[in-house]
């Protein structure tokens, strides 16, 4: 299949795959920070599973990109600086409290689920196959995080306040998921990757009524529309921790 | 040139390669071996992952290679494919019996839509009671959920439908 893409589409797809993979690996890392610290044991187990799934999905996207560019996934994750990462800012923000974590994961899960629903029909077969694989696992994520958002939002005064605070902070950042990069128009025209503005409409049509019936108020803040090359100062801090072992490892080190 | 094993011999040998996370279940029982190809001196085993983040995949791949080497294949190849995606429906009837005997409730058969099977009654693998409840849809590995049996008051795990 890759042989049928011209150079321009191939570059556009490689860029998009990097965005997909970077979102998942950074979100997976933030989720993994809860391991041993979640509010209850069951949730400690659940969030560790979510993290592991997201990192597994990242690997699939990095491998598809490797097929196009020859770039090794480990090299890509552990030996790139923040300026070369293409994740959205939403996933690099510190893990915050449990409400923030569950809401961020929920907003991302809805996006991912709707994206995968469309990607299974991609004209690029490897992408369609990967989406079909990942989609089944995402069912568990969506169900878990939507349950928590609803319960906390409709729970006690404190849990509601924390959920609303999380939404006030996250809502403007979520819009960046739908900011198109330079090659995305060509990908959509070729039926390889869905149109992001249509995806955004579908996402809003899902999350808005859900959040409203959970008695949360969607803020009127200005949406974040900068490109994925722009990051907060939190990303280099995260990468410093995530990459340190790989970077200090000498060629002789054996696990 | 050494004599290559037959397809049948290879399938039989793969029955002895166990899932490292569920040591009673072979890779064949699990339904992740898609194809065995023997072409001259070239032997290729085509595998598919269960959950995409499953860390056991690399270990299983290595064990398949070692098993093929034991059978006299000099340079075995293991190919990993994603299509069609693995489903828990592909666990063999024999595999389901082994899971239950191991104390791991087998996943319900869903015929294509695991979503409808997220709230099934899961009989306790120890006492068979249907008075059980899910306590966590996530468990000690990506493929397990945690249940509790109110009849025998025993926690148990289920292999999740996927």
Q: Indicate if the pLDDT at residue B57 is higher than 80.
A: yes
Q: Is residue B122 part of a domain?
A: yes
Q: Judge whether A188 lies within some domain.
A: yes
Question: Mean pLDDT over all residues of chain A?
Answer: 95
Residue A33 lies inside a defined structural domain of this protein: yes
Domain-located, residue B95: no
Q: Tell me, yes or no, whether B76 and B112 share the same domain.
A: no
Q: What is the CATH number of the domain that holds A235?
A: 1.20.1260.10
Which pLDDT score is estimated for A156?
A: 97
Residues in chain B within 8 Å Cβ distance of A60: 52, 82
Same domain, B119 and B54: no
Tokens 């990607």 -> residue: A119
Domain assignment of residue A192, yes or no = yes
Q: What angle do CA A159, A146, A188 make, to 5 degrees?
A: 130
Structural domain boundaries, residue A227: 2-248
- Indicate whether A135 pLDDT > 70: yes
The answer, yes or no, to whether residue B55 has pLDDT greater than 90, is no
3-state SS track over chain B: CCCCCCHHHHHHHHCCCEECCEEEEEHHHHCCEEEEEEECCEEEEEECCCCCCCCHHHHHHHHHHHHHHHCCCCCCEEEECCCCCCCHHHCCHHHHHHHHHCCEECCCCCCCCHHHHCCCCCCCCCCCCCCEEEEECCCCCCCEEEEEECCCCEEEEEECCC
Residue B90 is assigned to a structural domain of this protein: no
Examine residue B139 and state whether it is found in any structural domain, yes or no.
yes
Confidence tier at B121 by pLDDT (50, 70, 90): confident
The strand pairing partners of B105, in sequence order, are B158
Domain boundary among B51, B80, B109: B80
The answer to whether residue A242 scores a pLDDT higher than 70 is yes
ipTM of the complex: 0.82
Instruction: For A58-107, write each residue's pLDDT tens digit.
Output: 999 999 999 999 999 999 999 999 999 999 999 999 999 999 999 999 99
Neighbouring residues of A244: CB distance < 8 A, sequence distance ≥ 6: none
**Residue A148 located in a structural domain:** yes
Number of domains chain A is built from: 1
What pLDDT, on the 0 to 100 scale, is given for residue A253?
74
Interface test with A, best of B21, B48, B52, B162 (most A CBs within 10 A): B52
Claim to verify: residue B69 and residue B11 sit in the same structural domain: yes
Q: Average pLDDT of chain B?
A: 90
Binned at pLDDT 50, 70 and 90, residue B66 comes out as very high
- Residue A253 in any domain: the answer is no
Q: What is the largest CA-CA distance in chain A?
A: 57
What is the least distance, in Å, from the CA of A116 to any CA of chain B? Answer: 14
B67 and B128 fall within a common domain: no
> Would you call A177 an interface residue with chain B, using a CB distance cutoff of 8 Å?
no
Q: Kindly state whether residue A79 falls inside one of the protein's structural domains.
A: yes
Residue B117, pLDDT above cutoff 70: no
- Which of B52, B139, B140 is opposite residue A137, by nearest beta carbon? B52
pLDDT for A150 equals 96
The answer to whether residue B55 sits within a structural domain is yes
Rounded Cα distance, B57 and B61, in Å: 6
**Average confidence (pLDDT) over A116-123:** 97
Residues B12 and B55 in one domain: yes
Q: Tell me which residue range forms the domain holding B25.
A: 7-80
Residue B70 lies in a domain: yes
- CB B137 to CB A144 under 8 A? yes
Q: Residue B136's closest chain A neighbor by CA?
A: A42
Spell out which residues of chain A touch residue B139, defining contact as CB-CB under 8 Å.
45, 49
Whether A212 shows a pLDDT value over 80: the answer reads yes
Has residue A224 been placed in a domain?
A: yes
Domain count, chain B: 2
Is B58 domain-assigned? yes
Q: Which of A42, A53, A125 sits opposite B53 (nearest CB)?
A: A53
Mean pLDDT for B60-76 is 93
Least confident of A57-61, A199-203, A227-231, B104-108: B104-108
The closest CB to that of A137, out of B51, B82, B146, belongs to: B51
pLDDT in tens, B30-44: 999 999 999 988 999
The per-residue pLDDT for B116 is: 59
Percent of chain B with pLDDT over 90: 65
Best residue in B47, B53, B140 for a mutation probing chain A (most A CBs within 10 Å): B53
Q: Are A59 and B162 within 8 A, CB to CB?
A: no
Spell out which residues of chain B touch residue A59, defining contact as CB-CB under 8 Å.
52-53
Q: Is position B88 within any domain?
A: no
pLDDT in the model for residue A199:
98
Residue A255: predicted pLDDT: 62
Domain assignment of residue A158, yes or no: yes
B62 touches chain A (CB under 8 A): no
Residue B101, pLDDT > 50, answer: yes
Q: How far is the C-alpha of A248 from the C-alpha of B20, rounded, in Å?
A: 30
- Residue B162 pLDDT level (bands cut at 50, 70, 90): confident
Model pLDDT, residue A1: 45
| Cβ distance of B52 and A139 shorter than 8 Å | no
CB pairs < 8 Å spanning A and B = 73
- CATH number of residue B12's parent domain: 3.30.300.130
pLDDT over 70 percentage in chain B: 95
Quickly state the pLDDT bin for A248 (edges 50, 70, 90).
confident
Chain A residues within 8 A of B114 when measuring between CB atoms: 136, 139
Do B26 and B69 share a structural domain? yes
Judgement on whether residues B107 and B154 belong to the same structural domain of the protein: yes
User: Residues B137-156: pLDDT tens digits?
Assistant: 898 888 899 999 999 999 99
A129-144: average pLDDT: 91
């Amino acid at each position: 299949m890759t042989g049928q893409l011209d150079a321009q589409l191939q570059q556009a797809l490689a860029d998009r795959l990097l965005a997909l993979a970077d979102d998942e690996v950074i979100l997976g890392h933030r989720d993994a920070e809860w391991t041993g610290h979640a509010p209850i044991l069951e949730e400690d187990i659940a969030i560790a599973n979510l993290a592991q799934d997201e990192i597994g999905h990242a690997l699939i996207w990095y491998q598809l990109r490797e097929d196009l560019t020859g770039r090794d996934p480990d090299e890509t994750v552990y030996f790139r600086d923040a300026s070369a990462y293409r994740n959205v800012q939403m996933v690099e923000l510190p893990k915050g409290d449990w409400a923030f974590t569950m809401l961020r994961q929920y907003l991302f899960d809805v996006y991912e689920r709707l994206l995968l629903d469309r990607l299974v029909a991609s004209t690029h077969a490897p992408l369609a196959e990967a989406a079909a694989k990942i989609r089944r696992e995402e069912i568990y994520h969506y169900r878990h995080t939507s349950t928590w958002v609803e319960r906390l939002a409709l729970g006690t005064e404190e849990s509601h306040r924390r959920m609303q605070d999380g939404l006030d902070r996250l809502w403007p950042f979520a819009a960046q998921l739908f900011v198109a990069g330079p090659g995305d128009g060509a990908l959509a025209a070729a039926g390889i990757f869905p149109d992001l503005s249509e995806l955004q409409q579908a996402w809003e049509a899902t999350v808005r009524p859900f959040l409203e019936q959970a008695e949360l108020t969607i803020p009127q803040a200005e949406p974040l529309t900068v490109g994925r090359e722009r990051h907060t100062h939190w990303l280099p801090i995260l990468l410093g921790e995530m990459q340190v072992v790989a970077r200090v490892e000498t060629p002789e080190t054996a696990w | 040139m050494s004599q290559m094993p037959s397809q049948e011999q290879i399938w039989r040998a793969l029955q002895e390669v166990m899932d490292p996370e569920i040591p009673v279940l072979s890779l064949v029982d699990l339904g992740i071996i898609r194809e065995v190809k023997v072409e001259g001196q070239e032997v290729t085993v085509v595998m598919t992952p269960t959950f995409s983040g499953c860390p056991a995949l690399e270990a299983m791949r290595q064990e398949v290679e070692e098993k093929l080497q034991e059978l006299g294949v000099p340079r075995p190849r293991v190919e990993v494919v994603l299509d069609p995606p693995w489903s828990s429906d592909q666990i063999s009837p024999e595999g389901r019996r082994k899971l239950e005997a191991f104390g791991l409730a087998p996943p319900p058969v869903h015929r294509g839509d695991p979503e409808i099977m997220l709230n099934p009654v899961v009989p306790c693998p120890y006492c068979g009671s249907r008075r059980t409840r899910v306590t966590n849809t996530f468990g000690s590995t990506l493929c397990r959920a945690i249940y509790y049996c109110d009849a025998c008051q025993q926690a148990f795990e289920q292999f999740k439908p996927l």
